[in-house]
Structure 1
Amino acid sequence: MCTAAIAAAAEQVERSEVLTMGTKAGFQEARYADDGSVRVHYELNDRGRGPKYDAEYRIAADGGIESLANKGVDYFKAAVDESYKRDGKTFRWKNASEDETRTVDSPAFYLSLNGTPEEFVLLTRALLQAPDHRLAILPAGEARIEKLTELKVKGKPGAKKVALYAVHGLDLTPSFIWLDDQQRFFASYSSWSSLVRDGYADVLPTLAKTQETQEKQQSEQRAKTLTEMLVRPLLIRNVRAFDPATGNTIEDAAVLVDKGRIAAVGKASEVTAPAVADTLDGGGKFLMPGLWDMHAHFFGQADGVLDIAGGVTTVRDLANNPPVLAERIKAIESNRDIGPRIIKAGIIDGPGPFAGPTKALADNEADAQRIVDEYAASGHEQIKIYSSIKPELMPAIARMAHAKGLRVSGHVPAYMTARQFVENGADEIQHINMLMLNFLFDKVQDTRSPARFTSIGEYGAGIDLGSPAVHDFVALLKRRDIVVDPTLSTFEDMFLGRPGLPGPGFAAIQTRLPLSWQRNIRSGSGGLPIKPGQEAAYRDGYQRMIDFVGLLFRSGVRIVSGTDGSGGLQLPRELELYVSAGIPPKDVLRIATYDSAAVMKRDKEYGRIAPGYVADLILVDGDPTMNMADIRKVRTVIRGDRRYDSAKLFSAIGIAPSP
């Protein structure tokens, strides 16, 4: 049914529910009135975070949006007040970050900075109505749509004929949406979180299987096109070979790779290659082991390409949908997808309104034992405890995990201090703010909500890193050999970004990204809702987190490099922040390679350029031991028996290669 027909109908109410890992986490209600207006309410609860919008749209005859008004709060509860109006060829919009007027001669569709899911449905219909199914997007970009397949499904309200569409141009990979035969919203699916029409949740597995088949076909084609299998020995010559374990660099070096491992390394005159070997002239560039992202959530279709393109050859996944992740690993290892080596860690949380996005919820020791056993049996190497676990249950979980040979890490549970977490069996702590909260327990104990961030902004600068309390705590971490996963880059724009004033996190790569990403970065979206007058406190609180990481390093506490974000894009910034904390660049590179491998007991095979080691290598056009920003200039990636061109990988997902 076309947009005009929908507008002419009597008011129709469409309600959908958000399911995160199968648990209801929100809903959307869209009301289509007979005057051409659409009123939408949308809300999501993600561990106390999540947007809540009330929007009204008026639809034009060509399917575009004639006007909109949207009020509410964004993911971090900052106020949203956005308006837009189209008058002929004049388009005007205003939000917390933008206030623009443009004259546009050709058809165009405006996308809100903070839009409801239903707005994407409106775009889908407009694209289907547009010539060539293609439209300019305001403020920037272009989108096109294609229909992929149809299905007949049956839910409690009855049978439906639904179609899967792919919208190209808005993200690194196509955005998928399911519509019914009247072009009304039916579902949007991902393995992490989905939105589905009320009464049809049981249909999601069928939709998932069909959609994942389409995604796999795209992944397989990328792998076939962009992967070069090393079927013969490869001599990499004319390079500067850096071994992070020793900190030494061999000038005019050669490295021989055979059957996915390093067969020889040394001065070019010392390394002899078989006559059948292929040769890669490194052009004097910097060769080092592949990077490790020790805090990943590997579920986006572009994640694997992003990681390899950015030189990340190993990740540790700290929470995911286990069956889906297992399939991704199989696809990558069989060369049906592109991606890093993945080490699995399983999350466990307690039930309640702030529970993490997982089905692994434990309220007692029996539940915890079952979950730990399942993770151990499925090849997970670590348990990540989350914020809603009862403090009294945490020691039992640690004992269970250790009995199975699993490491124990996590957020510090609410109503528990970081010291207590360590003393009761933790091996590692995720996020530097969790350590700082140890000294703010008199101000905040319930850290399940965004208070675990905002309290650092409000009070973090007052933590005296030279105090006896901090000294004693750091000594405990050192004595117990506790590992810290700081994720400084995750907090940077959260603490420093403001509406209209982007944080520095993506400044170095912003212009390389798709236009929709550039807009979000420029807008400063994603920052915490900071009250007027608190800007300096939040800036100083973030600096205290950086300083704390420097103190940990100088005190001999082990650090691993993790992003909790887009590893291939974000890890370089994480490493730059370690340098700003006072850690020498060579030590930072060791943290991101050999040290991370050692934490996961893989330092005998990974993280070095040495004979017998797995040939996970990156060729860098620069010298990150002198300038850490050069780590973004990855040109070639060797992942065992596979070779990749970084520029081609980035280009395949709409990102400009590093200059």
Structure 2
Amino acid sequence: MTATTSRDGRATACEDAPGSRRGLGSVLLCAAWAGLLWATAAQAHDEPRRQWAPAIAEAASAAAALPAPEVLPGAKARLAQVQIHGVVVGRQASSRQGDETLVDHAFSERGRGDRLRARWTLDARGLPLRYEAEGHDYWKAPLAERFDRVDGQARWKNRVEQGRVAWPEAGAFYLPANPPPEFNGVLARALLKAPGQRLALLPAGEASLTKGPTITAGGRRLTLHLIAGIDFTPVPVWLDEQLQTAAVIDDWFEVLAPADLRLLDRLKAAQREADRRWAADLARRLTHVPRGDLLIRHARLFDPRDGVAREDMRVLVRGGFILRVEPDDAGPAPAEAEVIDAAGRFLMPGLWDVHQHFSGTDGLFDLIAGVTSARDMANDNQPLIERVQRFDAGTELGPRVVKAGIVEGVGPLAGPTDMRVETLEQARRAVDWYADRGYAQIKLYSSFKPELVRPIADLAHARGLRVSGHVPAFMRAQAFVEAGADEIQHLNFIVLNFFPEVADTRGPDRYTVMAEKLLQLDLDSAPVTGFIAELRRRHTVLDPTVAILEGLYSGAPGQPPAALKGLVERFPPIVRRRLLSGAVAVPPGREEAYRQALPRLLQLIKRLHDGGVTLMPGTDAFAGYTLHRELELYVRAGIPNAEVLRLATLTPAQVLGVAGQRGEIAPGQQADMVLLDGDPLTDIAALRQVVRTIKAGRVFDPSQLEAALGMTR
């Protein structure tokens, strides 16, 4: 993927950078940064993306408007650009003088993004002697971090922890809580020097290194290095022939020099192949395929059709489908059938999560949590199609997936996708592209033109696709559904329907301003009750994602999100630290409004449900476990437990057109079930006690899956 900018954008980057220094070094660096963006323009040769060039140019100009990066005096900067789905959103500048390295990393997308300046020195083994950083995170929460080694002691402090240990004789590598991408290369180089390519990590854990393939082109030789121990899966970093960091790439993010853009597709393909091998090996080891029929005996079976759990039931599965459901008469099992004795445990249909964006280990965490069906609500399209095919084939672990394709407008705050639309003809091509590839709906995003909503809804409906999305900026939720939207993502857009003064919802205001507006919203007022009635009359569906809003309003930077409390402590140490953040920094004087935001949202959820609006639970956050929290919040709002279980099983199957295939435990249905060691009808938190997940008759042990990801019990 590539990006482009204009000569005007290049000049503006230098002239309008706020707070930029005007010394000679700054001018040269600004010119170099402008040249980096202009070089990127020369790479814009991918014909399918030409129609999005104006939008990409705007995004590149927005990235160029970031403050000029700092460099060490007298040093030359190595510049890399930061891309999201091929669109330039920022940069990373690395400079070195003597033993000291300075990295200035910044990106901006949709009004959010990191800004970090980090300095460090290393010893002869490549291990940090000193590290210090300051800046802010993706949600603009301030961060500062320091590590040093003094008198045989290693000391560190950051916003999630502080510690001191005796420096181990064998050495150790301090991995910062919020490092810039370049630090992956620092760790890779240290591992190359370490015995056996293994290193102890501070504050805890161990990293190891393996080499992947080498990509050669135009005199460049880049080698893939895979670092295990710092995430659930091996982390890729590309080093060049001088062992300098050439690229850090994941499903969402790309950091590399413009000169290496011509290699990007090959680098990504090599990483995807490494990921596929890892996932396929895990699937082979952790999928249990019964030798013949599968019989589940003595289960307490929940039926979402009537909300009743029936005692001592048996379920017979053959070939991935449910053959019989009947009272267990203690008779013999069919010949050669494998038997799971539920021993009175709670058996229910597999859960749905209708708002995910699959990457990495999301599919694994879904199966751990009992999620056997999901909907992807926007992704990098071809990799998603291939991933879903692997899920279905069993060569990668994950649920069944309904695909929703994103369609966005243009502009500097447009979402990270290449499916951008300015005209009706482009809208027609986008709808046809998704319909021809088996997508079930389209999702409109925040920069989409309001005047195109009705035409694209007609085009989508004519192809049998549903229409949902964010309510586009400068449009209200009521107008969105009147124009043909079948569904709305995120509860905050319902709230903002009643505050037209919050017109531009493309940036963080759609979250932050809403917290301050909620207390002004009279839930018994005629506008609110009337709109709820209109949503019911139109059968408009709502995907609320309350759990992620809870994390934004009720959390605190440096603390785990509520959905992961009690779980983060079981994650690998380095992963754990990265998840101890994510809340919006509360503006001074707004503490009470933020404290009241979640209770108010839960009151609104209850009004919507009682008013007959169909709710479908989705997360848009950490896969699997966050769905449990979403459902706990529905119960906290006052929705009965049995009804919440129906919303998480049968309702999505009905709305998304697969009722009769899944959503129930009944003859002829696909054998997707979850066995729980608890009763969610009396305590919804029992959903977290998954004993077995069954998808298409194949059996998964969540404890084995968690152990494979480095989690502890």
Shorter-chain-normalised TM-score: which range?
over 0.9
Residue 95 of structure 2 aligns with which residue? 31
TM-score by length of 2: 0.87
Specify the SS of the correspondent of 1:199: helix
Matched, 1:637 2:681: no
Alpha-carbon distance in structure 1 between the residues aligned to 2:427 and 2:393:
33
Give the match for residue 546 of structure 2: 488
Equivalents in 1 of 2:179, 2:515: separation in Å? Answer: 28
Deviations 1:262-298 (A, max 9, x none): 1111210188753232221112211110000100101
Other-structure match for 2:233: 173
Aligned pairs for 1:13-32 within 5 A? 13-32=77-96
Instruction: Say whether residues 1:505 and 2:576 are aligned partners.
Output: no
Q: 1:298 to 1:86 in 2, by over 3 A?
A: same
Distance (Å, rounded) in 2 between the aligned partners of 1:125 and 1:453: 41
Q: What SS does structure 1 have at the residue aligned with 2:391?
A: helix
2:457 match: secondary structure: helix
Q: Identify the match of residue 577 of structure 1 among 630, 633, 636.
A: 633
Alignment equivalent of 1:612, drawn from 635, 659, 668: 668
What residue identity is the alignment partner of 2:514? I
SS of the residue corresponding to residue 649 of structure 1 reads helix
Note the residue ranges of structure 1 that are not aligned, 5 or more in a row: 1-9
TM-aligned CA deviation for residue 363 of structure 1:
1.1
Measure the CA separation in 2 of the matches of 1:519 and 1:208: 27
Deviation at 1:112, TM superposition (A): 2.1
Within the candidate set 38, 45, 61, 2:124 is matched to 61
Return 589-598 or 275-284, whichever deviates more. Answer: 275-284
* Residue in 2 that maps onto 1:141: 205
2:531 matched to which residue of 1? 473
- Residue aligning to 2:243: 183
228-237 or 558-567, which deviates more? 228-237
Q: Which of 106, 128, 137 pairs up with 1:43?
A: 106
1:436-455 aligned at under 5 Å gives the runs 436-442=495-501, 444-455=502-513
CA distance in 1, matches of 2:249, 2:183: 16
Please state whether the residue corresponding to 1:439 is helix, strand or coil: coil
State the distance in 2 between where 1:82 and 1:60 align: 19
Residues 376-455 of structure 1: pairs in structure 2 closer than 5 A: 376-442=435-501, 444-455=502-513
Please say if residues 150 and 161 of structure 1, whose CA atoms lie closer than 8 Å, have aligned partners that are also in contact: yes
Q: Are residue 529 (structure 1) and residue 593 (structure 2) matched? A: no
Q: Is the 8 A contact 2:232 2:575 kept in 1?
A: no
For residues 234 and 498 of structure 1, the distance between their equivalents in structure 2, rounded to whole angstroms, comes to 46
CA contact (8 A) 2:563 2:628 kept: no
Matched, 1:296 2:356: yes
Of stretches 538-547 and 167-176 in structure 1, the one that deviates more from structure 2 is 538-547
- Which of the residues 59, 78, 89 maps onto 2:141? 78
Find out whether 1:317 has 2:373 as its counterpart.
no
Of the candidates 253, 257, 265, which is equivalent to residue 317 of structure 2? 257
- Higher strand proportion: 1
- The one-letter amino acid of 2:469's match is G
- Report the secondary structure of 2:302's partner residue: strand
Match status 1:374 vs 2:433: yes
Q: Which range is displaced more, 511-520 or 313-322?
A: 511-520
Is the Cα contact below 8 Å between 1:147 and 1:163 reproduced in 2? yes
TM-fit CA distance, 1:231: 4.3
What's the CA shift string for 1:407-428, capped at 9, x where partnerless?
Answer: 0000011111111111111100
Residue of structure 1 equivalent to 2:577: 519
Distance 1:390 1:656, change over 3 A: same
- Counterpart position of 1:227: 287
- 1:542 aligns with 598
Question: Which has the higher mean CA deviation after the structures are superposed, 476-485 or 143-152?
Answer: 143-152
**TM-aligned CA distance change 1:427 to 1:72, over 3 Å:** same
Give SS of 2:624's match.
helix
C-alpha deviation, 1:114, in angstroms: 2.0
The aligned residue for residue 152 of structure 2 is 89
Give a deviation string over 1:192-234, Cα, whole Å, max 9, x none: 3211222111211111222222211111111111112234111
Tell me how far apart the structure 2 counterparts of residues 496 and 134 of structure 1 sit (CA, whole Å): 39
Tell me which of 188, 195, 199 is aligned to 1:124.
Answer: 188
Letter of the 1:228 counterpart: H
* Amino acid in structure 2 at the alignment position of 1:74: D
Query: Residue 189 of structure 1 contacts residue 204 of structure 1 at CA under 8 Å; is this kept in 2?
Result: no
TM-score of the pair, normalised by structure 1: 0.94
Aligned length: 639
Where do 5+ consecutive residues of structure 2 fail to align?
Answer: 1-73
Shift in Å, 1:499:
3.3
| Aligned equivalents of 1:325, 1:99: Cα separation in 2 | 40
Greater alpha carbon shift after TM alignment, 110-119 vs 494-503: 494-503
- Secondary structure of 2:134's partner? strand
Aligned to 1:589, which of 642, 645, 652?
645
Query: Which is worse superposed, 391-400 or 354-363?
Result: 391-400
State percent identity of aligned pairs.
41
The answer as to whether partners of 2:78 and 2:94 remain within 8 angstroms in 1 is yes
Q: Is the 8 A contact 2:178 2:578 kept in 1?
A: no
